[in-house]
Amino acid sequence: MSEPEIEVGPIDYLVVEWPPDKQPTGEAMPMLVDLVDRGVIRILDLAFVRKEEDGTIVGVDLEDLDLDGNPELTVFEGASSGLIGDDDHAQVGAELEPGASAALIIYENTWAAPFATALRQSGAQLVANGRIPINDIIAALDELEQAEA
């Protein structure tokens, strides 16, 4: 008899960068809270890093960010599974220009968990996945529209 399958959705990560002249304001964070509240995603890990002018890469605590005092965001304080490590901070930081900041987010697509679990139980395997950048989609749709005109 086999162990029951744990229902887990696909796990993704995002790295979002703010250039030196723009720093995180918290404006998008309520949308992230909403996704979590509606059960669309589950945050597994959330971290912020900044590259100092001298090239030093530092971790930034959520409470140290100027996020317009949004109390909803305290839900993410301490959101850490340990999946994001120092090597991830260093790798992301190396890509930043001095003065820039970045958010690293690892999340489960909980909306897809039942489907993904059913596929695994049927013996299916993921053989490819990816993302199409939204700018590529917009450009392709514009080209199609122009071709039809």
pLDDT in tens, 69-95: 555 555 666 567 788 988 999 999 999
What percent of the chain has a predicted confidence (pLDDT) above 70?
Answer: 84
- Residue span of the structural domain in which 92 resides: 11-123
In a domain, residue 133? The reply is no
In a domain, residue 105? The reply is yes
Q: Is the pLDDT of residue 68 over 60?
A: no
In a domain, residue 113? The reply is yes
In a domain, residue 100? The reply is yes
In a domain, residue 1? The reply is no
Residue 20 pLDDT level (bands cut at 50, 70, 90): very high
What is the pLDDT at residue 1? 37
In a domain, residue 24? The reply is yes
Total structural domains in the chain? 1
CB neighbour list of residue 9: distance below 8 Å, 6 or more residues apart: 108, 109, 110, 111, 112, 113, 116
What are the two backbone dihedrals, phi and then psi, of residue 24, each rounded to the nearest 5 degrees? -55, 130
In a domain, residue 149? The reply is no
In a domain, residue 68? The reply is yes
